[in-house]
Amino acid sequence: MRIRVAFLPQLAAPEPAARGICVVIDILRATTTLTTLIEYGAAAVLVAPHAAAARAEKGRDPDALLLGEIGGLRPPDFDLGNSPRELSPARIASRRAICHTSNGTAAIRAVAGASAVLLGCLRNATAVAGRAFALARAGDLPITIVCAGDAGGRAFALDDSLVAGQLALLIGAEAERAGLPVVMDDAALAACALHRAEVGPALRPTAEGWTAALARTAAGRHLAAIGLGDDIPFCAGLDTTTVVPLAQIEAERVVLTLLRI
């Protein structure tokens, strides 16, 4: 089982077919929020390439929920921000959602052409690791864990890299249980080392450990500074759901649905 980590979307394999199964991470907060939308029963989730496109899509479908952030904060004309704590099944179920964020939605689009693009976070960590492993094994493909990063995908983000280490370890454990050799690239080994150093040596650290580790990162400190630090414990909840979003990417449209395998 070949496991790779791209600390920035642009560091994923340049040839789409070589990316294999991609798992995109923007832990604080896009992939956590998008996973929660699917978990709470959204009919579909459209990932918009920029805020103007999101607004235009809302104009075509006024009943859809428009959510996202610029600089971490909800634009005034959006229905919701990028906080997963704003979501509830009563508000989300059977509705269509349109989302744009600074980093995570761009990262999803950046890996178009991979054999499959899944969304990962801590809340679905074991589930997304298991499903990525199953798809990779069935197709004899590598797995590329893609960090959204910061500054529109141009800067390293420790928070995403720690979660990449968590997923790499979980996928490696799946492979070992299946009796398969595990080959990690240097970036995956580095992500695992960061995970052990910052979160701890356990395969599945506690939510408290994850909360503390994420709060120390630049992204965590930014959330606290803008009054959204309470999102961190929600994002740090490990294995609270088995839902795995699948990104279906066609030209300018990216729609998230529930992966069923």
Distance CA 122, CA 166 (A): 8
Question: What per-residue confidence (pLDDT) applies to 252?
Answer: 72
Under DSSP, the state recorded for 246 is E
* Extents of the domains making up the chain: 2-258
Question: What per-residue confidence (pLDDT) applies to 253?
Answer: 79
Average pLDDT of each block of 10 consecutive residues along the chain (261 residues)? 97 90 98 97 93 95 96 96 97 95 92 94 98 98 98 96 98 98 98 98 96 98 98 98 92 84 55
**Which structure tokens are listed for 214?**
């994420």
Start-end of H helices in the chain: 30-39, 51-60, 89-92, 104-110, 125-139, 158-177, 186-198, 207-216, 218-225, 231-235
Question: What per-residue confidence (pLDDT) applies to 16?
Answer: 83
Residues 6+ apart with CB under 8 A from 119: 23, 24, 31, 34, 35, 108, 128, 244, 245, 246, 247, 256
Q: Counting beta carbons within 10 angstroms of the beta carbon of residue 16, is it exposed (0 to 12), middle (13 to 18) or buried (19 or more)?
A: middle
Under DSSP, the state recorded for 50 is S
Transcribe 147-186 into DSSP letters: E--BTTTTB--HHHHHHHHHHHHHHHHHHHHTT---EE-H
According to CATH, what is the number of the domain 2-258? 3.90.1560.10
pTM (2 d.p.): 0.96
Distance CA 111, CA 144 (A): 10
